[in-house]
Homo-oligomer: A and B are copies of this chain.
Amino acid sequence: MNDYLRIPGLIDIHVHLRDPGQTDKEDFNTGTAAALKGGITTIFDMPNNLEPVFSVEKLSEKSKIVSNKALCDYGFFFGSDGENLAEFEKAAGKTIGLKLYLSDTTGKYTVTDESQIYKIFKKWTKKKPVVVHAENEKVGLAIKIAYDCGNILHITHITGENELAQIMDAKKMGMKISSDATPHHLFLSLEDKERLGKYAEVKPPLVSKRNQAYLWNHISDIDCIASDHAPHMKKEKESEISYYGMPGLETMLPLLITAFHDGKLTFEDIIRMTSHNPSKIFNLKRDDSSYAEINSEEEYLIENETLFTKCKWSPFAGWYVKGKIKRVFLRGTRVYEDGKILVRPGFGKNIK
């Protein structure tokens, strides 16, 4: 029964589903289940698996492993350490973009040599975005190189003026450039660190209230919201080693609807940032048959116990949100309703 407000199914352009390699943290089944529960009908999975997706062979292997597990639609990013340029041409056809780490991140994937970055940008197709993790001055570097080489550039998980001001300038110059911010940077700040302890550890780190206010004040200049869903097990987060990242698929849309009630953004902003722009930037074909039905007035408590993500914790546990996802449709099929997934693993398709 057609009784709810509907918004286009969300496209989350930045998630880490850990499959294969770290399926103790998450796998493609639990991760895509969490996506659907969160109103997300398409996810883009990052290449930094335990064995990173730097070759077409690894990509095919991953594709084979996850295809029988996927519940929502998905696309893959290709990765690069600068040593795999020969793979680019083949990989481009099978992926939605290239993911590049210019700033420090988990693992050994950061590319720091400028001439190597040039080679990567030059070699990658000019028809699909290069998504970069770039903080502060690295944003300027990415812009300079993408401008010189003619790439489509997307700066992921920006955290404030340092990044956005440079992106805005490049936009004014006519560059094909876009950005996203994460729910944890928009809804958590340094003030939450005491409460969350090591659970607050994430890259880029949580920001000050002042920086966070900057993001909200410039929400109309930010192109996308992406979860950067990066689950780690509780025992990992609580250990002495730092495991950076937090889950976010299930909580992103309820948090955004709550922000709508608080007057921080409009429904049109939500749609623009979670489906219109992602599909425009990544050149996706879309129809009208993938959508989420919500009760925008229903309040509920976020609880670890009811999460679908394998890691079973959320930095937002204990928060009341206003905006409940009731049903989700993917390509015309009812795939989620009232806490239950209604399709079998494998229903989700690779969009490329």
Interface on A for B, CB 8 Å cutoff? 1-9, 266-268, 271-272, 275-276, 279, 286-288, 290-291, 295-297, 329
Contact = CB atoms under 8 A, between A and B. Distances in A.
Contact of A5 (B1, B2, B271, B279): B271
Contact of A276 (B3, B266, B276): B3
Nearest to A268: B297
A121 B73 CA distance: 55
Given A5-B6, A267-B296, 7 more contacts: A2-B275, A2-B287, A2-B288, A5-B268, A6-B291, A268-B297, A288-B329
Contacts of A5: 5-7, 267-268, 271
A3 B2 CA distance: 18
Contacts of A297: 266-268
A266 B8 CA distance: 20
B3 A266 contact: no
A3 B275 contact: yes
A271 B1 contact: no
A276 B290 CA distance: 22
Nearest to A289: B2
Contact of A2 (B4, B286, B296): B286
A241 to B, nearest CB: 43
A179 to B, nearest CB: 19
Most buried by B among A2, A279, A296: A2
A296 B266 contact: yes
Contacts of A290: 2
Contacts of A271: 3-5
A288 B5 CA distance: 11
19 contacts: A1-B276, A1-B279, A2-B8, A2-B9, A2-B287, A3-B275, A3-B276, A4-B8, A4-B271, A5-B6, A5-B267, A5-B268, A5-B271, A6-B7, A267-B296, A267-B297, A268-B296, A268-B297, A288-B329
Nearest to A290: B2
Contacts of A267: 5, 296-297
A5 B8 CA distance: 7
A271 B271 CA distance: 19
Contacts of A2: 8-9, 275, 286-288, 290-291
Contacts of A268: 4-5, 295-297
Contacts of A3: 8, 271-272, 275-276
Contacts of A295: 268
A168 B297 CA distance: 24
A348 to B, nearest CB: 18
Contacts of A1: 276, 279, 286
A351 to B, nearest CB: 14
A1 B9 CA distance: 12
A16 to B, nearest CB: 26
A10 to B, nearest CB: 11
A286 B329 CA distance: 17
Nearest to A261: B266
A296 B6 CA distance: 13
A4 to B, nearest CB: 7
A291 B291 CA distance: 13
A276 B287 CA distance: 25
A132 B271 CA distance: 42
